[in-house]
Amino acid sequence: QLQLVESGGGVAQPGRSLRLSCVASGFSFSAYTMHWVRQAPGKGLEWVSVTSSDGSNKYYADSVKGRFTISRDNSKNTLYLQMNSLRREDTAVYYCARDHAPSITPQSFFAPWGQGTLVIVSS
Amino acid sequence: QSALTQPASVSGSPGQSITISCTGTSSDVGGYKYVSWYQQHPGKAPKLVIYEVSLRPSGVSNRFSGSKSGNTASLTISGLQAEDEADYYCTSYTGSSTLYVFGTGTKVTVL
């Protein structure tokens, strides 16, 4: 069945870095656009970043632009999120989610989602 | 890019219908036919229930329906059941540098 499993979360000090991974199974990973979405504790969802199926197109939320980098390794069925210069407000559960198409389009929607990995930024 | 506006909470009795609104602007909800809705139970990942304003994914109950008028999208849950108690979020394409924006979220309580 379709499955996405995130890992790499943990505690990091402000200004430090973390790299999240999302391993996909049960579908042809290289055929789909992939997203990262986050949710601060007790708060709502926030879209973070997207990459097209071949990794050639990438976009970021203004709140993470210049600090976070999305990438993918289609040979390993894995999506990544490199998070640098972490801030306390980056504390959240980070979800990866599949889109329905190979390219980034206005019609995007997110299904399925992984179970999430918790990132805590604290000194 | 500001979050789309949803009511903080909506409640209803079993069997009733409820509607959750999602209000944006002409730059997001009003400008595109690409609103989707997600259900999230406590401690769980979100699940898609409606996409492209009114389309239902395979496996989602036909008690869930969506619509849009102007800058406001709506999710209606008919025949409310205990299992529908959850948080619900809308999202829309924005066409701006932050490509997608979520709603503030609505907690649905089944009385």
CA distances from A39 to A52, A101, A118, B105 (A): 22, 24, 9, 11
Model confidence over B60-100: pLDDT tens digits?
999 999 999 999 999 999 999 999 999 999 999 998 889 99
Whether residue A84 has pLDDT greater than 80: yes
Q: Verify whether the Cβ–Cβ distance A115 to B45 is below 8 Å.
A: yes
DSSP 8-state symbol, B63: T
pLDDT one-digit tens code per residue, B12-67 = 999 999 999 999 999 999 999 999 999 999 999 999 999 999 999 999 999 999 99
Is B47 an interface residue toward A (CB < 8 Å)?
Answer: yes
**Burial class of residue A42 in the structure, from the number of CB atoms within 10 Å of its CB (0-12 exposed, 13-18 middle, 19+ buried):** exposed
Residue A66 amino acid letter: G
What is the CB-side half-sphere exposure of residue B13 using CA atoms within 13 A?
0
pLDDT of residue B66: 97
Q: Does B99 touch chain A (CB under 8 A)?
A: yes
Pick the residue from chain B with its C-alpha nearest to A96.
Answer: B45
CB pairs under 8 A between A and B: 73
pLDDT value for A44: 96
CB contact under 8 A, B104 and A44: yes
Cα separation of A84 and A104, whole Å? 24
Put simply, whether B32 touches A (Cβ < 8 Å) is: yes
pLDDT at A75 (0 to 100): 97
The pLDDT value recorded for residue B1 is 74
Dihedral of the alpha carbons of A106, A112, A114, A116, in degrees to the nearest 10: 50
The answer to whether the beta carbons of residues A85 and A67 sit under 8 Å apart is yes
Q: Which residues of A touch B98 (CB under 8 A)?
A: 47, 60-63
Measured between CA atoms, how close is A19 to chain B, in angstroms? 20
Worst-scoring range by mean pLDDT, A95-99, A104-108, B32-36, B80-84? A104-108
Is the separation of the CB atoms in B17 and B77 below 8 Å? yes
- Over pLDDT 90: what percentage of chain A? 98
Residues in chain B: 111
Mean pLDDT of chain B: 96
Judging contacts by C-beta atoms under 8 Å, the chain A residues touching residue B45 are: 95, 112-116
| Predicted confidence (pLDDT) at residue A90 exceeds the cutoff of 90 | yes
